[in-house]
Amino acid sequence: MEINRETGDMLKRYFLNANPLLWGVLEARKKKERIKELKAMGFLKDYSENSKQKYDKINQDLLVELGIEGIMDRIVVPLVHKRLGVEVLKNFRRHWEQGQLPDKQYLKDNKLYHRRRAVLMNQWEENRLVREKDPVFIFLEINESLDFIDHWTVFSGLWFEQIESLISKEEKEKLEKRSMEIKKRLTPEAR
């Protein structure tokens, strides 16, 4: 992925000010688990198992280690495709371009979101809300207590207007192939 300087600087600013860390593309919820997930991907090798670094320091270390291009190319893009899949991203893009929000039933049918009957209290970590792991929260803000889709996240705009256009045709084909392989493994007929 090649990013020009202006776009790279803009993505870097959004990355540094993102809430949650890495726009929520990681599957882990807590900081310790997120660090462990990043370490398993081969990043932040100098961090110990019980590292208590602040998110700002983690962001800075990721930028030093990978740069914004590496963060997009090796973490954000693959994890978004892994967690949502090509077809869901195409569906979201159609909705985005029409200025509409996806239907809640579509999200549930595609196992992107499940309503929690009782949202007793929000979990916070370092003054940041810790979201559930449902992949839809990367792209949509959902009012769980009233069970309605509120709006697109800031990351949605970045994805559809900036990041997606940076992915080369070859990379898209590779991601689509990988997504299809994962989907095949998860279908009941393949078992």
- Taking only the tens place, the pLDDT of each residue in 27-81 is 888 888 899 999 999 999 999 878 888 999 999 999 999 999 999 999 999 999 9
For residue 138, the one-letter residue type is I
DSSP label of 17: T
Instruction: Using the CB atoms, write b or e for 130-164: b if 16+ within 10 Å.
Output: ebbebbbbbbbebebeeeebeebbebbebbbeebe
Predicted pLDDT of residue 183: 59
- On whether the pTM is more than 0.75, the answer is yes
For residue 94, CA distances in Å to 35, 101, 175, 178 come to 34, 10, 19, 22
Predicted pLDDT of residue 5: 94
Predicted pLDDT of residue 48: 87
The list of the chain residues with pLDDT below 50 reads 118-121, 130, 190-191
Predicted pLDDT of residue 116: 57
Residue 149: in which H helix or E strand, if any?
Answer: strand 148-152
Predicted pLDDT of residue 79: 93
CB of 25 closer than 8 Å to CB of 83: yes
Predicted pLDDT of residue 98: 97
